[in-house]
Amino acid sequence: ENQFIDSQLRYERQDLGKRESDQIILQQVEDVFGEPNNAGLSKVLTSFWNSWNALSTNPESLSARNEVRSQGQSLSRTFQKLDTDFGNLQRNLREEYQAKVDDVNRMLNQMGELNRQILRQPSGDLLDHRDALINELSPMLELDVRENSNGTVTLATNGTLLISQGIVNNLSADVTWDSSTSEYTLGLKLENSQRSVNPQSGALSSLLERHNVTVKNVRDQLDGLAVNLAVRVNEIHKNGYNLDDVTDVNFFAEGITGAHDFNISTEIANNANLIASSSDAGTPGSGTLATLIADMQYGEVMEGFSANEFYSHLVSDIGKKVQESEFLKTSQEKLVMNLKNQRDAISGVSLDEEMTRLIEFEQAYQAAAKVISTVSEITDTIINMV
């Protein structure tokens, strides 16, 4: 029964390792968004739309144009900072992933050495050390553990052999750079054969999924929002007229590919007078075009949503994932604790039995000692009589 609980405990520790890592990483993702916050993208977007609305009511104002330019620059910095911060988060995840793979290899090598020592001369201390290492390794990745008749253990993960007798197959963190997408992808391989390993549980599984999927998807969606927003604003702005009756000027830079290069155009950055406010030539006092851009706050920009709605859904989705991860982590912690209590209770019974046997042995020893003492006294008396 104890072996069954130990096996179940290892399995649940693997899941707990993943849940704990998930919760930490998802919380970090939510922290990068920094919402609600006056410097967050949601508020900055609203301020950007409001500046166009103010220009629509005072279309000949240079200060209103300067404010539109300033809000455009603020929006650019916010998009760029989000991309930088998420890029830094992914870099940190890669570093943590490498460190954990190194830890796994360290423990695998120690277990391989223990297997070799057990083969030569098994002892209780060696077996205890081996079991402690298995427990330490469990939260990292799923483990299939088989104890052999000679006292050694065979370890595998998801069908891939890691340890057999004294032979160890170390793991290698596979970090791939795709120049076409400017993205890193994490993987896991056997160090010697380069065979792919696909952890389904444990902290390594969490780091792989959150780096390759969760944070990547967030960055992709931010890139899509940045590109669509720039294109939609430019489509309207290029057809408008500024105070000099000039048209065909982009408000945002042309050819934006994502949040990292989102920016206002060089022309607008150098001269706020080029900001268009009128839909018709020869009507510098008209704010019709500025109104069209201001109304984009409520218009479709991406996937059927306005820019603010799309971003709000993105942040909200991560918030829900954080809450779910906290619940799953707490539930898993309770499950692991219950299993540990069950194991300790069974071990406690065994300890009580051992204590009972020890007391019986001590009582028998004391009784025997009394007999020996009595015999000794009788012998001394007989000798003295002689």
Q: How many CB atoms lie within 10 A of CB 151?
A: 17
Pair of tokens at residue 321: 């994932």
Backbone angles phi and psi of 362, in degrees to 5: -65, -40
Q: Residues 77-101: pLDDT tens digits? A: 999 999 999 999 999 999 999 999 9
Pair of tokens at residue 370: 């009394």
Q: Residues 32-56: pLDDT tens digits? A: 998 887 779 999 999 999 999 999 9
pLDDT at residue number 375: 44
More confident residue, 385 or 25: 25
Cα dihedral 280, 286, 287, 288 in deg (nearest 10): -40
Residues 107, 109: Cα–Cα separation, whole Å: 5
pLDDT at residue number 358: 47
> Average pLDDT in the 198-218 region?
97
166-180, 259-273, 356-370: range with lowest mean pLDDT: 356-370
Pair of tokens at residue 98: 């490498």
Q: Which of 322, 320, 328 is nearest to 17 (CA)?
A: 328
Q: Residues 340-377: pLDDT tens digits? A: 888 888 776 544 554 555 455 456 546 555 644 554 55
The per-residue DSSP string of 324-349 comes to HHHHHHHHHHHHHHHHHHHHHHHHHH
pLDDT at 381 over 80: no
pLDDT at 385 over 60: no
243 neighbors 48 (Cβ within 8 angstroms): no
Residue 240 backbone class (left: φ over 0; alpha: ψ -120 to 50; beta: rest): beta
Residues 164, 180: Cα–Cα separation, whole Å: 41
Q: Residues 227-254: pLDDT tens digits? A: 999 999 999 999 999 988 999 999 999 9
pLDDT at residue number 376: 52
